[in-house]
Amino acid sequence: MTAATTVEKTTTITEKTTTTTTTTTTRRCTSTTPTITSPRWQILRLLLLPLSILLLAVCAPLIYPDLFLTQSQIAQVTQFFDSTPLSSFVQFSTSTPLSSTLNSTSNAVRGGHTNNWAVLVCTSKFWFNYRHIANTLGMYRTVKRLGIPDSNIILMLADDAACNPRNKFPGNVWASTANRLDLYGHNIEVDYRGYEVSVENLIRLLTGRLPLTTPKSKRLNSDARSNVFLYMTGHGGDEFLKFQDYEEISAVDIADAIEQMWQKKRYHELFFMVDTCQANTLYTKIYSPNVLATGSSGKGQNSYSHGADYDLGVAMIDRFTNFVLEWMEGKDKTTDATMKDLFESYDSSVIESDPGLRTDLFGREVGDVKVTDFFGGVSQVDLTPAVRSEEGRKGEPFLM
C-alpha cells in the first residue's frame, strides 16, 4: 500500500512538471510572434496613413484632371500648348557643338582663371630707399584700383618712410613732385612690415608653409585657378636680391619656390615683375610652366631712380616702375590692353636700361593676355542664356 501510494505521487508530480514546462514553452513562443495590436504595428500604421494620403493628393490631379480644373482652365491650357511648340522654350541646335559652347564659357572666365592675387614686396628699408617703398605702393594702388581686393593683396613693406622723422610731410608717401598723390593713404593694409619682411617669410608665403597661427590676412590662399602677380623691388645684383641689407634671396630660391607653388597647385598663371639692378638675372633659373617674367635691367646694368624731391632730399621712384605705372594709369577695369602692348611700350631711352622679358615658359601668346589678367580683379558673374519673354519680345532677356 505504501509503495503504490508513492508511485502515484511520483507520477502525479511528473505530470504536473511536464504540464508546467509545456505551458511555459507555449507562452515563450507566443510572446515572440508580433500581433496587429503590437506597438510596432501601430507605429507603422501611423506612418503609412499620412504617406498614403499625401501620395493620393499628388497623383489625383494628374490622373483625373477633370476633377480639379474647370472647363475654361482646361481650354486655356490646351490652347497654350497647341499654339506654342516646345522648340520655343527649349532650343536644340546642331550648328553649335558642345565644345564651342564650353569654349565660349571658358573665355568668359578670362584666361581660364577665376581669381587674381598680388604679392607686392619691397625688400629695402631706411629713409634713403624711399623710392622702393613708393614703387611698391604705386603697384598696390594700381592693382587695387583695377579691382583686386585687399583680401587678395599681400603687401610686404618696411613701412618706415611715412612716419619717418625726416619726412617733411608726415603720413604721406609720394611718387612724384608734380603730382602730390598720397600713395600711403588711410585705407592701406600692410600685411608684413618691418622685420617681418624676410626671405623665409616670403618663401613660406608663396609655398603655403606658414605656421597654423598665421592669420588669414597674411596667407596667399590661391589655388589652381588663380593668377598670381609677384612684384619685387629693392637692391640687387647678378641673380640675387637683398632683403633689408641683412640677407639675400637668389634666383634659385625664387625658381624653387615657384616650382613648389606649381606642384601644390597654388597658381594657374604667374607673372613675375622685378625692378632692381640686373633684374633680368633673377628669372633666368625659373623652370615651372605658365610663368611670364619681366625685369627692369639686364646683366651688368643698373636700375635708375627718377624724380628727386628737394623737400624730402631723396629720389621718389624708380624709372622702370614709374614708366609702367604711367602706362597703367590710363587703363580701367574694362580695358582691352594686352601684356604685349605693355612690353612693346618699354622705351630703353627713357628707362635708361634694357628691360627684359621671358615668355618661353608661358602657355599663351602675350598678345592674347589682357593686362587685367594679372593687374585686375575677376568679376564673379553667372552667364544665363536669353529666354523667351512675353509675346512680341522674343529673344530679349527676361528682366525680373
Of 113, 122, 277, 306, which residue is the catalytic one? 277
Of 381, 322, 383, the closest CA to residue 147 belongs to: 381
In the chain the beta strands, taken as DSSP E runs, fall at: 115-122, 153-157, 192-193, 226-233, 236-237, 240-243, 247-250, 269-275, 291-295, 305-309, 314-318, 356-358
Instruction: Kindly report the three-state secondary structure assignment for every residue of 136-185.
Output: HHHHHHHHHHCCCCHHHEEEEECCCCCCCCCCCCCCCCCCCCCCCCCCCC
Number of CB atoms found within 10 A of residue 181's CB: 13
Please say whether the beta carbons of 272 and 262 come within 8 A.
no
Report helix, strand or coil for 222.
coil
Residue 334 gets which letter from DSSP? T
Q: How far apart are CA 224 and CA 221, in angstroms?
A: 10
The residue behind cell 594657374 is 268
Could you give the 3-state DSSP secondary structure of residue 358?
A: strand
Cα(166)–Cα(168) distance, integer angstroms: 6
290: left (phi over 0), alpha (psi -120 to 50) or beta: left
Catalytic annotation, pick one of 132, 235, 268, 306: 235
Is 132 annotated as catalytic? Answer: no
Q: Can you give the length of the chain in residues?
A: 400
396 contact partners, CB below 8 Å, separation of at least 6: 386, 389
Active-site residue 235, yes or no?
A: yes
**What cell was used for 36?**
496587429
Q: Beta-carbon neighbour count of residue 233 at 10 Å?
A: 31
182 phi/psi in degrees, rounded to 5:
-75, 115
> Which residues are the active-site residues?
235, 277
